[in-house]
Amino acid sequence: MHSLLTSSSAAAIPVHAVSAGTWPALQNNLTSANRSFALAQGFAGRPGQHCLLPDPQGALATVLLGIDAAGRRPDPFAAGRLAALLPAGDYTLSGEIGDPALATLSWLLQGYRFDRYRKPSPARARLVIPDGVDGEEISLIAESAMLARDLVNTPANELGPGEIEAAIRGLATECGATVTSIVGDDLIARNFPMIHAVGRASTRAPRLVDLVWGDPAHPKVTLVGKGVAFDTGGLNLKPDASMLLMKKDMGGAAAAIAAARMIMLAKLPVRLRLLVPAVENAVSGNAFRPGDVLASRKGLSVEIGNTDAEGRLILGDALALADEEAPELLVDFATLTGAARTALGPELPPFYTHDEGLAAAIARLGMAVNDPVWRLPLWPPYDGLLESKIADVNHISGGGMAGSVTAALFLNRFVEKTKAYAHFDIYAWNPSAKPGRPEGGECQGARLIHALVKQLYPRG
């Protein structure tokens, strides 16, 4: 169980959630001193407010937490913000908390620290596990998300394709899975030409990492994650501002790794496969060029419109491999397009699927576990924007519009046999801190896919 959780409630300090609408009534239950103290601090039960109330001896007795006002959907992660604000000690949740499991999860996610390059954080606030909440399951989910955050936050000088592979091998050791990898020029020999082309300019060899776990007789579930350890843009070099956060361009791989860990440690009855094409998109004399035509594992010839759209190329080869065994469910995660951020911002990744039932389940579960996503269309008329005059397909669209949609349409060409397929265009980064989501690397989509697999294939 995570160190920020405890099962003991002895001497725990209560955290009482209150809205602006219920705050006036609650005041009547406070001592006159505490009521005056709270009012003097301007506490009114508004979202984002909190107030520490002392006992007669001056010790901390109660914490008040303001939540979203009536008429708005309360933030299920509202309680989590206190994990980084309260002094060390044990706390219990009460009042208008909403979903206790999500409140507990948010406490752990807010307590995340990336301490690799600085002194570890001192002792922090612990939460008493609320009644009915499975502390072990919440810890598993939170620790998996934290693993993804650690990977995204690690700078590219210490996290290249080889280190991504090492992280997957460490996961395999933890969970009892097997891993194989295809590295460097072996990618050509084994028919992964697009992965090789994108990664060949780097001194750090490109690779395809393949993890397999579970009973072969169980339903096949395959996760694919974009693992671009750093993206310079290639010969279509990114400007400074755009390149600064490109250590996070392996955020799709991080999300897929986190989802795989959740599924495996929960021992869900599936045959899980995790595929991560891991590369660095660098610049050198042998870098692939705009206008090149690449072969692909699928057999499609692909004209290169821009070397800064490399993620869909490596995913194309990986998706083609995944599709060959026709899994029941295939999901890919990728930090793929700026167009997705323009459309929906950093907090709401779009997803794409032709399967109406799958789409409904993903949207519902995303809200249920507070890992929200929004469906965008695989709009067939836009497929023509990928036409090439010299190859089967261009990997970017002409005209600069609908960039996230056309990227999804490109990937869709590499999936034919799979029963159900979904693509997630994630951001993998919190540009500013919010409850349960500290600034920095973020794990988007993994928790909802864990919930989806758990619903589709429950343990007997």
What would the pLDDT profile of 235-275 be if each residue is shown by its tens digit? 999 999 999 999 999 999 999 999 999 999 999 999 999 99
Exposure string (b/e) for 52-67, b if CB count within 10 Å is 16 or more?
bbeeeeeeeebbbbbb
Q: For residues 179 and 299, what is the distance between their CA atoms, to the nearest angstrom?
A: 26
Q: What angle do CA 445, 305, 374 make, to 5 degrees?
A: 20
Q: Quick one: pLDDT at residue 70?
A: 55
What is the mean predicted confidence (pLDDT) over 201-225?
A: 98
Residue 155, pLDDT above cutoff 70: yes
What is the mean predicted confidence (pLDDT) over 410-421?
A: 98
Residue 68, pLDDT above cutoff 80: no
Does 113 participate in catalysis according to the annotation?
no
pLDDT tier at 48, thresholds 50, 70, 90: confident
The fraction of the chain above a pLDDT of 70, given in percent, is: 99
Does 238 participate in catalysis according to the annotation?
yes
The lowest-confidence range among 62-71, 202-211, 346-355, 373-382 is: 62-71
Q: Which of 160, 332, 168 is nearest to 247 (CA)?
A: 160
How far is CA 385 from each of CA 46, 159, 391, 403, rounded to the nearest angstrom? 48, 35, 13, 10
pLDDT tier at 72, thresholds 50, 70, 90: low
Exposure string (b/e) for 335-344, b if CB count within 10 Å is 16 or more?
bbbebbbebb
What is the mean predicted confidence (pLDDT) over 313-329?
A: 98
Determine the distance from the C-alpha atom of residue 60 to the mean position of all C-alpha atoms in its chain, rounded to a whole number: 36
Query: Judging by beta carbons within 10 Å of its beta carbon (0-12, 13-18, 19+), is residue 228 exposed, middle or buried?
Result: buried
Query: Judging by beta carbons within 10 Å of its beta carbon (0-12, 13-18, 19+), is residue 431 exposed, middle or buried?
Result: middle
Residue-wise DSSP of 429-456: EESS-BTTB-SEE---SHHHHHHHHHHH
- What tokens were used for 335? 């930090």
Q: For residues 428 and 346, what is the distance between their CA atoms, to the nearest angstrom?
A: 8
| Among 312, 341, 413, 437, the one annotated catalytic | 312
- The tally of CA atoms less than 13 A away on the side-chain side of residue 287 is 21
Q: Quick one: pLDDT at residue 154?
A: 98
Q: Which of 380, 385, 379, 374 is nearest to 424 (CA)?
A: 374
CB 175 within 8 A of CB 265: yes
Q: For residues 63 and 52, what is the distance between their CA atoms, to the nearest angstrom?
A: 5
Q: Record the pTM.
A: 0.97
Span 112-151, pLDDT tens digits:
999 999 887 777 899 999 999 999 999 999 999 999 999 9
What is the mean predicted confidence (pLDDT) over 32-61?
A: 92
Residue 433, pLDDT above cutoff 70: yes
Q: For residues 226 and 54, what is the distance between their CA atoms, to the nearest angstrom?
A: 50
Q: For residues 36 and 350, what is the distance between their CA atoms, to the nearest angstrom?
A: 47
Residue 99, pLDDT above cutoff 60: yes
Q: Which residues pair with 394 in a beta bridge?
A: 303
CB 182 within 8 A of CB 190: yes
Span 325-348, pLDDT tens digits:
999 999 999 999 999 999 999 999
| Among 35, 124, 169, 238, the one annotated catalytic | 238
